[in-house]
Amino acid sequence: MIFTFFFFFWFLFSLLTKRKRKLRDDTSSDLTHVLRTLLGSLMAFPQTKGIKVSVLLLVGSASAALLLFVLLPSLSPFSSFSCSPSSPASGSVSYAAAGGRHRLLDQISPTADDLEWLRSQIQRNSLPDPPSTPSAWHSLRKGINPRTRAQQLDDLLKYKGISHYEDETGNHTELPCPAELLVEEHHSNYGEPWAGGRDVFEFLASSVALQPSDLVLEVGCGTLRVGLHFIRYLDTGHFRCLERDELSLLAAFRYELPSQGLLHKRPLILRGEDMDFSRLGDDSSLDLIYASAVFLHIPDQLVWVGLERLAVKLKPRKGRIFMSHNMKFCWRIREQCHKRLEKIGLEYVGNYTHDSLLFNHYEIWYELRRPWK
């Protein structure tokens, strides 16, 4: 009898070990096969004199097989969920841990299939080429009261909109927003279209294989033309910014964040113009720091002060600093540039060019990092 039990459990263990790496796509079929195999082997096992396999033993064996078959795959590490994150730069979908769970990452850049789909939809709907003149473009406007941005602003200032509460006591507006922000005048505060902010985000996020759990600091985030995309992609509280312009901060807080539904992301945006980053993260904590056309407007000496303070904020090896347009603050001292970078704990990596998706434009970016030891 002891030998029979030994053989039974040895056979069961061997069979389930071979099966534990398979997915349980067809549990019923596999279970039936296991039980039939076990029962057949036990019935066929040669009976030793005085030893009989009782019905109770067979039932107990089948029950044990059922229990182990159900539990073993769930306990096996091979059947648990896993998905290695792929680089967001590839445009593929990946996963990231968030609060002990896995969540789908937002795709950073459109794929070739995405662009082909968009073109097919334009063709499917028989949409013509866009008008080439302002008058021709405006002739396409439809609606109950089509307006230019200037006309819309004038209407808001004079009439408060088509439907509104005359008595201020009945006004239910939670976050009153200036009319100039409502018509998005601040979207024209830049030297290029507002849509260029997405181009910058895609380039930077792809360059560093950005993950939602990373910490990002923008030096001079303005009205969040670029920052909105980082805030939306990153985990709550993982975007930081130091901005000195009052109008830009008003647009960011009173229009962009609430209108884009991003208040819950709690970005840390602080007013300041002294390159004091002490309130924006611990040392060695930041994965990405970037400045889009900011250092062009700052005296060279202050740029060097800022870079020295930013260097200690970068994560060793992984952390990067990106600056757009040029590095005149460094080029002006020529051969001393690399030595001065080394002195403040940085090294030059290279420069890159990225194109815009929606208009004829390109931008040059320069990359710095902490030297590898």
Write the pLDDT tens digit of every residue in 59-104.
Answer: 455 555 545 444 444 443 333 333 333 333 444 434 444 444 444 5
The Cα-based distances of 123 to 127, 130, 264, 334 in angstroms read 6, 13, 38, 53
Identify the pLDDT of residue 26.
Answer: 44
Q: Nearest to residue 276, comparing CAs of 313, 228, 239, 234?
A: 313
pLDDT band at 40 (very low <50, low <70, confident <90, very high): low
Residue 246, number of CB atoms within 10 A of its CB: 9
- Higher pLDDT: 164 or 89? It is 164
Give 257's pLDDT tier (boundaries 50, 70, 90): very high
What predicted TM-score, i.e. pTM, was given to this entire model? 0.67
Residue 256 DSSP symbol:
I
Give the pLDDT score at 180.
Answer: 87
pLDDT at residue 4, rounded to an integer:
53
DSSP assignment of 88-121 equals: GGG----EEEETTEEEEPPP-S--HHHHHHHHHH
Distance CA 334, CA 112 (A): 42
Q: What is the CATH number of domain 193-369?
A: 3.40.50.150
**Is it the case that residue 326 has pLDDT exceeding 90?**
no
